[in-house]
Amino acid sequence: MTKTKPENDVLLIEIEDHVATLTMNRPAKRNAMCDELLDAIDAFFSKPPEGVRVVILTGTAGHYCSGLDLSEHVARDAEGTMRHSRNWHRVMDIIQLSGLPVVSAMFGAVIGGGLELAASTHVRIAEPSCIFQLPEGRRGIFVGGGATVRVGRILGADRMCEMMLTGRKFGTEEGLALGLTHYAVGEGEAMPLARKLARGIAYNATLSNYMMIQAISRISDMSRSDGLFTESLAAAVSQTSADAEEGLKAFLEKRKPVFR
């Protein structure tokens, strides 16, 4: 069954076979992020439609997301700027930790807030046209959507500092080497691979998907001993579930498991 939203929406939503495809739809702005688009993404992940197990996030008209729409920038005092930044953090956290695996199909601009958005997703696929950049430092501002945490952990603080100081752009192959993307594919191949991977992820047990999303990033924040204990808790919950029993039974019977 396929459900869609009107084409004039800033976020197009299509649902088919447990996979929701979210398309950022501001083609004249290279899908730059505005409050309306951020609110639409927030609304989806805050209350996902029933039956959705995996999300694909992508853009339209040749671009993923070119970051914050500076043409809609409004003057804010320090408190207003902080609150705006913290709202971005909240929405990026919802994307990363909602419990739904998110696959990014990327092409064109993956810049500034667009890179922050991509870094909050779990699987990233890049076509040859991708440009990864954090240009804020060249505009007299600082990142505010979580880049210092998410992008910084991918690149390391030293590499990210250089990237911001110089406004350096990375292409797809460089992005692959640095970890900004997990897959480098040919032109027009990001969405087909995203759909293939999403279908495979949707076939996993929902509890094990949830555990991977919730536990792994948190364990990376913990001390070694706390992380190992948390891993044991996650293992105990997942390995005593009905899906684990089905997975073992299917393995012994040499068939594909049928999870809930």
Contacts 24+ apart (CB under 8 A), 245-250: 246/205, 247/205
Contact 141, 76 (CB under 8 A): no
Kindly state the DSSP code that residue 7 receives in the 8-state scheme: T
The DSSP output letter for 68 is B
Q: Do the strands 131-133 and 169-170 form a parallel or antiparallel pair, or are they unpaired?
A: antiparallel
Catalytic residue selected from 72, 116, 127, 253: 116
- 136, 174, 231, 245: which is the annotated catalytic residue? 136
| DSSP notation for 101-166 | -EEEEE-SEEETHHHHHHHTSSEEEE-TT-EEE--GGGGT----SSTTTHHHHHH-HHHHHHHHHH
User: Is 253 a catalytic site residue?
Assistant: no
The strands making up 183-184's β-sheet, listed across from edge to edge, are 3-4, 11-16, 19-24, 54-58, 102-106, 123-126, 183-184
Which residues lie across from 65 on neighbouring strands? 110
Return d(Cα 92, Cα 30) in angstroms, integer: 20
CB 113 within 8 A of CB 142: no
Query: Is 116 one of the annotated active-site residues of the chain?
Result: yes
Among all residues, which ones are annotated catalytic? Answer: 116, 136
